[in-house]
């Protein structure tokens, strides 16, 4: 018996049904059958439904297997993990403040995680926190950065999964810059697999995105039966985490700041209003960023590396306006930085290859 001539281009329900009927009519066993009869028509409908569902399911399955065609965030997270990219949620808006010690004869300290009240022009209030201690000698002025957070988690205890050597943070919107992990009060550096020079750090943990939060994985190894540990395995230690849960772009454009409580003696001024707060990236922007982040390996080598770095870190929002050009040997001008030019250039230079220095270029290209 020869194989039936199947038209694989017919993928709609009615087309599939017609193909089935045409095939059955071509068989001598069904020459005199009434294919519009209720019983046989129902059987053909069932076959058609089954075929249609299988086509639809297989199409979705194949699409999710590739980064370019994936439509589910869970699939993109899985693809990103293979390439050492951690899919972010919202990013905190940051502001630069300065504090002047006007008369305290000691060296007052603004402790880390101090809460600041920020007020936008429309009178909306946002809360900000500093993540490092700030010490100010009498008569001096110190600059520091504060991070917006609708909720700030400060050294919250978290349960260790000994077998997997990991802890789970049940938050999608965690600003990576504010994430701190402590094991028995020792801080571990949080990195991704493409972070440069990770082997130079003795205490590391790795961040992995899940659909409903983040896994923080430690480097310890446990045997399959759970009885043998290596020297770096954690078991019974106290683990705490600190991080900001940001409002994203809603935290931008805050210009007036004050201490919420226990203000030290001195003057608090705003150097630059809050900016660079961003919402979670779209699926399309993730598809653009993931392979390019992997190819650059956190280094700044090519023009694409510069573009991606500025976009990923919210120093720019439009790749079209970013221009990179070499003006003289070893000096590269960058145009199109929209936020915190000096800091952006400083970070570019920290990641550049030997012999290359980035500078801010003139907007008119002159």
Residues 255-304 pLDDT 10s:
999 999 888 888 999 999 999 899 999 999 999 888 887 776 667 888 88
Residue 351 CB partners (closer than 8 Å, separation 6+): 196, 298, 299, 300, 309
Answer yes or no: is pLDDT of 201 > 60: no
Contact (Cβ atoms closer than 8 angstroms) between residue 339 and residue 314:
yes
What is residue 229's predicted lDDT score, i.e. its pLDDT?
A: 61
Domain ranges for the chain: 13-64, 94-150+248-275, 156-241, 299-360
- Both tokens of 156, joined, read 């919250």
What is the torsional sign of CA 51, 52, 54, 55? positive
Q: How far apart are CA 361 and CA 366, in angstroms?
A: 8
Q: What is the mean pLDDT of residues 190-207?
A: 68
pLDDT in tens, 117-150: 999 999 999 999 999 999 888 888 999 999 999 9
pTM of the model: 0.76
Q: How confident is the model at residue 221 (pLDDT cuts 50, 70, 90)?
A: low
User: Above 80 in pLDDT, residue 183?
Assistant: yes
Give the pLDDT score at 223: 60
């Amino acid at each position: 018996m020869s194989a039936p001539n199947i038209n694989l281009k017919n993928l709609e329900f009615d087309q599939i049904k017609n193909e089935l009927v045409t095939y059955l009519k071509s068989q001598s066993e069904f020459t005199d059958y009434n294919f519009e009869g209720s019983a046989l028509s129902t059987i053909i409908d069932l076959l058609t439904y089954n075929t249609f569902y299988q086509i639809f399911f297989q199409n979705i399955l194949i699409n999710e297997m590739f980064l370019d065609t994936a439509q589910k965030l869970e699939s993109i997270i899985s693809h990103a993990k293979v390439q050492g990219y951690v899919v972010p949620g919202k990013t905190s808006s940051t502001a630069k403040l300065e504090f002047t010690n006007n008369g305290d004869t000691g060296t007052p300290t603004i402790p880390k995680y101090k809460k600041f009240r920020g007020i936008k022009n429309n009178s909306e209030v946002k809360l900000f926190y500093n993540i490092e201690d700030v010490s100010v000698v009498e008569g001096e002025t110190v600059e520091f950065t504060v991070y917006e957070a609708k909720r700030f988690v400060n050294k919250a205890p978290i349960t260790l999964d000994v077998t997997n050597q990991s802890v789970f943070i049940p938050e999608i919107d965690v600003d990576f810059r504010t994430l701190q992990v402590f094991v028995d009060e020792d801080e571990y550096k949080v990195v991704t697999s493409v972070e440069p020079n990770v082997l130079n750090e003795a205490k590391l943990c790795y961040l992995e995105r899940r659909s409903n939060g983040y896994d923080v994985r430690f480097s310890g190894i446990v045997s399959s039966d759970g009885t043998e540990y290596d020297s770096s395995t954690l078991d019974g230690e106290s683990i705490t985490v600190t991080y900001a849960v940001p409002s994203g772009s809603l935290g931008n454009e805050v210009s007036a700041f004050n201490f919420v409580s226990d203000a030290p003696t001195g003057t608090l001024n705003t150097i630059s209003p809050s900016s660079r707060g961003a919402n979670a990236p779209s699926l399309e922007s993730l598809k653009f960023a993931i392979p390019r982040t992997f190819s650059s390996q956190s280094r700044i080598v090519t023009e694409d590396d510069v573009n991606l770095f500025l976009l990923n870190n919210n120093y720019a929002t439009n790749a079209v306006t970013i221009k990179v050009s070499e003006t003289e040997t070893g000096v590269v001008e960058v145009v199109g930085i929209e936020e915190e030019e000096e800091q952006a250039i400083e970070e570019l230079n920290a990641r550049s290859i030997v012999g290359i220095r980035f500078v801010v270029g003139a907007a008119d290209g002159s």
